[in-house]
Amino acid sequence: MSDAGEHLDDLEVLPPRFFARNALAVARDLLGCRLVSRIGKERVGGVITETEAYAGVLDRACHAHAFHRSARNESMYARPGTAYVYLIYGLHNCLNVSCLALDRPHAVLIRAISPRWGVETMARRRGMPSVIRGEVNPSLCDGPGKLCQALGVDREADGLFLPGADGGLFLARSATSGDYVASPRVGIESSGEFAALPWRFVATESHYR
DNA sequence: CTTCAGATGCTCT
DNA sequence: GAGCATCTGAAGA
The residue that minimises its CA distance to C1' of B11 is A72
CA of A22 to C1' of C2 (A): 32
The residue that minimises its CA distance to C1' of B8 is A90
pLDDT at residue A1 in the model: 46
Query: Torsion-angle region of residue A134: left (phi > 0), alpha (psi -120 to 50) or beta?
Result: left
Predicted structure pTM score: 0.94
CA of A125 to C1' of B13 (A): 36
The residue that minimises its CA distance to C1' of B10 is A90
pLDDT at residue A175 in the model: 83
CA of A131 to C1' of B3 (A): 27
A54 touches strand C (CB under 7 A): yes
All residue ranges of chain A with pLDDT < 50 are 1
Could you report the per-residue pLDDT of A121-134, keeping only the tens digit for each? 999 999 999 999 89
Q: Which nucleotides of B are covered by protein (CB under 7 A)?
A: 7-12
CA of A5 to C1' of B10 (A): 41
Q: With 0-12 CB in 10 A as exposed, 13-18 as middle and 19+ as buried, what is A191?
A: middle
Q: Which nucleotides of C are covered by protein (CB under 7 A)?
A: 3-8
Q: Which nucleotide is nearest to A89 (CA to C1')?
A: C4
